[in-house]
Amino acid sequence: MAGPKKNDPKKPDPKKTVALQDQEPDVEQVLFQGPLFDRECNLKANAKLVQIALVPVKQMISDALARRAHTILLEPREGRVAIRFVIDGVPYPAAAIPGQKGSAMVQMIKLLSGLDVNERRTAQSGGMKTEYEKIPYHLIVESTPLGGTAEKIRIKVDNRKVVRQKPREIGFPDHLKARIRHYTAERSGVILVCGPPDTGVTTLATIVLHCIDPYLYSVYNLADLNVRELINVADFTPEPGHDLEISFDRIIRREADVLYMNPLKSPHDTQTIFQYANRLSYVAEIPANNPAEAIRKLIEWVGVDEVIKNLRCILTQKLIRKLCDDCKQAFRPNPKLLKQLGLPPETSVLYRAPLPPPPDDPKAQTIEELCADCDGVPYYGRVAAFEMFEMTDTMKEVIAHGASPEAIRRQMIADGQTTLQKDAIRLVAEGKTSLEEIQRTFNPGGPKKKPAQARPTPPAK
């Protein structure tokens, strides 16, 4: 999930936190190309705001894109606006802007995204088209009121050259692809995708849809895609005044096999989908952090019998930092470790981040020297570990008797289903990440050593 590596000596020093208004534009600046979603941006009517804040906003976004940030956060704090870049899931402080200048930058971002700069008490969302170093980006912008005139801004970065639509493009395992094809071959039942915010839930739902063979099955889309695209999927536009039942009947008359839906947020719509789940196979998202939470919500909405009868599987994923191929170190694992991890005893090598040099060897390279290009942060990009809850016969009994998260987890393990932890070990075995990173990801509150990579924002590679 990493982009191409770059070495640019003109990139800002990540060890220096500088107020953005004092920075010189020493790197190529981002090009703003207008708002998304058919919005408008009137710069002339906001000439004073443009004069104050356009250049600092361009510098901030250029800096963020140069450092591979996938999220940019602007948050008011004690008379200032704190700016953070989230890179590979880790937030790094980028700058602290005096309150008035920071507020102007917030409004400038809203203006460029087609939002109402005069509305500060209501949440808004929009976005802008940009280009940086000849790469097109979509920046999805959300503003959240904090009381009074204060707002925080969240910008999600979408690199339009990085395509993640097909299973192989995100490393989706073949055995999970086969299970999805097995369930959709029945032309009935519900397949759901869930996960916490910012874990690629929509991308994973798209991947699930593209696991289905379009040459054997007729796949239709009824979801609002915004700027996303689907391959070999026919769009279906409901007639004005037609409810879901009428639309489903029309789709069935077209001999559809699989239908992609908007996220399940309404009990009524979910009940209608489950009512038709014996005649169509459905793929949709559901707002839930994990499969157990999704099942509890479904039981509240449609009842336990419908869940047991029509739910086929629920998928989720967890993004884990990927070891840098230039920095990672190989080591030979001992047999006890392999047994503990459930890896084959013939596994001869695993990988880890570089170890600190021996204290008694002054000539040994430091981590900073070993990882000069990544400033001592030997991770670049992220990979996904996947989980698939499946409604097996044994799982149906668990669901019927209360569906506690602990019981569901135990049964998934007993059934040999793919869990996040199990799939994360696969990534370790494949040399894509380290055991230390798995521990950090799944046990963030546990005891930690002082990490050598805990540094300011890493530069682009």
CA distance 367 to 359: 13
Distance between start and end Cα atoms, the chain: 14
Please name the residues in contact with 153: beta carbons below 8 A apart, sequence gap of 6 or more.
72, 73, 74, 106, 109, 110, 141, 142, 143, 144
CA distance 461 to 453: 15
Query: What are the two backbone dihedrals, phi and then psi, of residue 96, each rounded to the nearest 5 degrees?
Result: -130, 115
Strands (E), 46-185: 71-77, 80-87, 90-98, 124-132, 135-147, 150-159
Percent of the chain surpassing pLDDT 90: 75
What pLDDT does 363 receive?
75
**How is residue 58 written in tokens?**
């361009």
User: Is residue 298 helix, strand or coil?
Assistant: helix
CA distance 396 to 392: 6
Mean pLDDT score across all residues of the chain = 89
CA-closest candidate to residue 32, choices 68, 58, 66: 58
CA-closest candidate to residue 384, choices 351, 444, 432, 436: 432
Between 343 and 389, the higher pLDDT residue: 389
Give per-residue pLDDT as tens, 129-149: 999 999 999 999 999 999 888
Over residues 445-459, the mean pLDDT reads 46
Q: Is it the case that residue 7 has pLDDT exceeding 50?
A: no
Give per-residue pLDDT as tens, 339-388: 989 998 899 999 998 887 778 777 777 777 767 666 667 898 999 999 99
What pLDDT does 29 receive?
92
Burial class (CB in 10 A: 0-12, 13-18, 19+), 359: exposed
**How is residue 456 written in tokens?**
């300011």
CA distance 85 to 425: 28
What pLDDT does 13 receive?
46
Query: CA 341 → CA 24, 403, 429, distances in Å?
Result: 50, 28, 10
CA distance 121 to 449: 43
Domains and CATH numbers, the chain: 20-159 (3.30.450.90), 167-320+382-442 (3.40.50.300)
Give per-residue pLDDT as tens, 203-243: 999 999 999 998 999 999 999 987 788 999 999 999 998 99
